[in-house]
Amino acid sequence: MARARSRIAGVISVFGELLITTGVLLGLFVVYSLWWTNVLADREADKQGDEVRHTWAASGPGALDTKDGIGFLHVPAMKNGEVLVKRGTDPDILNHGVAGYYTDPVASALPSDKRGNFSLAAHRDGHGAKFHNIHRLRNGDAIVFETKDTWYVYKVYKTLPETSKFNVRVLDPVPKESGRTGPGRYITLTTCTPMYTSDYRYVVWGELERTEKVDGRRTPPAELR
């Protein structure tokens, strides 16, 4: 009887140690996913952003660069600093701590286009989490996009806290789900929701209010001061 109890106690002890080890490994994975990937992504995004600004400073007027990064997104309400925006929304792009504009399933317009929807995506958790605080955006909040020679100032007019990840209508040139029915110059921000999942999409729509030419000091619009 004593030997049987000893064996049972030994099995329970081993099982308990396995549970503890599993818990530690899961905890380390969470730390890696939600913290360390942010550190690495932010470093890479800063490096890429510096390269874009260096290129701007060293070159004269020219066509919009759609390879290395077309500009920087500034959203004061999200308190996420400046976010480099690149072409495409594949993970190998977004995982570097940047935002990307859609090339499919609905191709994004560019801010300089006379009409269309400048539609963007970024991670909400991990890999820089540039859209982590998207839920803080309210109607009237500013979304500012900076290119080499122009500031584009948008104002939020509608949010959609949850929709299917397969709902591509939110990216349409005229985003009718936002309440707009005619052509305009729109911006759409998309990311995963709820936090720490990728089950649904959170969407914010804005509309261009004005543009400002970039001066020699790159003085930002009033919304960013």
CATH code at position 179: 2.40.260.10
What Å distances lie between residue 46 and 91, 149, 161, 215, CA to CA?
18, 20, 29, 23
pLDDT tier at 65, thresholds 50, 70, 90:
low
Q: For every residue of the chain, which 3-state class applies, written as one string? A: CHHHHHHHHHHHHHHHHHHHHHHHHHHHHHHHHHHHHHHHHHHHHHHHHHHHHHHHHHCCCCCCCCCCCCEEEECHHHCCCEEEEEECCCHHHHCCCCEEECCCCCCCCCCCCCCEEEEEECCCCCCCCCCCCHHHCCCCCEEEEECCCEEEEEEEEEEEEEEECCCHHHHCCCCHHHCCCCCCEEEEEEEEECCCCCCEEEEEEEEEEEEEECCCCCCCCHHHC
Catalytic residue among 85, 99, 192, 208: 192
pLDDT for position 57: 87
Which percentage of the chain shows pLDDT scores above 90? 74
Omega of the bond leading into 76 within 30 degrees of 0 (cis): no
Q: Is residue 31 part of a domain?
A: no
Q: Is residue 122 part of a domain?
A: yes
- Provide the number of structural domains found in the chain: 1
C-alpha closest to that of 72 among 103, 41, 49? 49
Q: Is residue 14 part of a domain?
A: no
Omega of the bond leading into 105 within 30 degrees of 0 (cis): yes
pLDDT for position 17: 47
Which pair of tokens denotes residue 93? 């792009």
pLDDT tier at 39, thresholds 50, 70, 90:
confident
Mean pLDDT value across residues 163-190: 98
- Its domain, for residue 156, covers 52-224
pLDDT for position 35: 72
Over residues 102-121, the pLDDT tens digits come to 999 999 999 999 999 999 99
Q: Is residue 28 part of a domain?
A: no
Instruction: Output the CA torsion 47→51→53→58 (10° steps).
Output: 160
Which pair of tokens denotes residue 63? 């066509």
**Which range is least confidently modeled, 15-24, 50-59, 164-173?**
15-24
Q: Is residue 18 part of a domain?
A: no
Q: Is the pLDDT of residue 146 over 50?
A: yes
pLDDT for position 96: 96
Q: Is residue 90 part of a domain?
A: yes
- 192 counts as catalytic: yes
Q: Is residue 19 part of a domain?
A: no
Mean pLDDT value across residues 112-140: 97
Q: Is the pLDDT of residue 216 over 60?
A: yes
Q: Is residue 6 part of a domain?
A: no
CA atoms within 13 A on the CB side of 150: 15
pLDDT tier at 202, thresholds 50, 70, 90:
very high
